[in-house]
Amino acid sequence: MCRRNKIIIGLVFALVFIPATLFAAHIEYFKSIPVPADNPQTPEKIELGKQLFFDRRLSGDGTMSCATCHVPEQAFADGLDISMSYPTTKNWRNTPTLLNVAFYKSFFFDGRAATLEEQALFPVMSAFEMNKNLDYLEEHIRSVPSYVADFKKVFGGDVTRGRIAMALAAFQRTLISMNAPIDKYLKGDTKALSAEAKKGYELFKGKARCIKCHDGVLLSDSRFHALNVPENPAFVNDPDVKATRRFVAKVYHYADYKKLNEDPGRFLVTNNKKDWRAFRTPTLRNIAQTAPYMHNGIFKTLDEVIDFLNNGGGKGNKVLTPLGLTSEEKKYIKTFLIEGLTGDKVKIKHPDIP
């Protein structure tokens, strides 16, 4: 083939194929759930993971399962500003939704777990969440004959903490909520968004600059930014919250943990000053169902979040600037968030616990 033809074919390819794939990427992404090669999805494993997710044996005092905080009927969040905690202790962060976690690149507000398998045992052993000794957990699950049989069937072997985590991860990968109006709109259904929501979407991409961080299929760049959201007043003088922060910081080898008086966010993971109080950009899918907002649940409504952003974020932050949105414009953005981003409902039949 002569050189000129090659260039022409290359150009045609670039013009036709690339925009088509970029457009399709948004929608096609959801069709393939990323699954690690060493933990393939099987119906039996998913069912086992679901039982474990609802089993209160996973907590030290037998009162809490994963579903106590990640409530299926509340988009797998809990509606509280700060999550529940193990008796006599306090939690320090808001319970995030588990919808679409299959697509996350890291887990927790500070990204300290890399996979769902790695994440699953953190809340179980966390002193201020489920507080279950993992050696005891293995014996506890092993004491139930039907679990022993299920682990044998699913994994070909005994109950182990690693396999408990694998089953929990497999179940969570099924919590997919897609087909939101924005997905339909981007596929070409121009009626999927109301006129107000469309205006909100244009502002979201334009004047309000939300897309700078809330982009891609999750409406999150999966990166960490310090917006410096206000402190939750409930934290200021609470010795139990101080204990929780200092405990986590100590576990993460932060030398000054004894003096710690705020949530250091991503800093604990990277030890990099620029990550002080930085948190992962949350997904905005199903945002209408997961109030209150931010890592510490400080904002009860989307209006409060939008006002905070419009004012240029929290004191001393280096990532946001005032937006100058009118009250109409703020309303359009809110309409887009509520109407545009709510996907399929994930209905879960609560399993019988053996």
Cite the active site residues. Answer: 129
Nearest approach, Cβ of residue 176 and ligand HEC (Å) = 14
Residue with tokens 């931010």: 294
Instruction: Rank residues 127 and 178 by Cβ distance to ligand HEC and give the closer one.
Output: 127
Instruction: Rank residues 3 and 112 by Cβ distance to ligand HEC and give the closer one.
Output: 112
Nearest approach, Cβ of residue 326 and ligand HEC (Å) = 13
Comparing CA positions, the residue from 103, 138, 104, 143 lying closest to residue 121 is 138
SS3 content of the chain, % helix, strand, coil (to 5): 45, 5, 50
Nearest approach, Cβ of residue 10 and ligand HEC (Å) = 36
Instruction: Rank residues 197 and 229 by Cβ distance to ligand HEC and give the closer one.
Output: 229
Question: Cα angle at 288 between 329 and 28, to 5 degrees?
Answer: 95
Q: Report d(CA 98, CA 255) in Å as an integer.
A: 32
Q: Report d(CA 313, CA 322) in Å as an integer.
A: 8
Nearest approach, Cβ of residue 209 and ligand HEC (Å) = 5
Q: Report d(CA 298, CA 296) in Å as an integer.
A: 5
Count of C-beta atoms within a 10 Å radius of residue 342? 19
Instruction: Rank residues 249 and 320 by Cβ distance to ligand HEC and give the closer one.
Output: 320
**Residue 113 burial (10 A CB sphere; 0-12, 13-18, 19+):** middle
Instruction: Rank residues 188 and 316 by Cβ distance to ligand HEC and give the closer one.
Output: 316
Binding site for ligand HEC (CB under 6 A): 58, 64, 66, 68-70, 83-85, 91, 93, 95-96, 98, 101, 104, 107-109, 116, 119-120, 123-124, 129-130, 168, 172, 208-210, 212-214, 225, 227, 229, 279, 281-282, 284, 287, 290, 293-295, 302, 305-306, 309, 319-320, 333
In this structure, is the dihedral angle defined by the CA atoms of residues 336, 339, 340 and 346, taken in order, positive or negative? positive
Nearest approach, Cβ of residue 278 and ligand HEC (Å) = 7
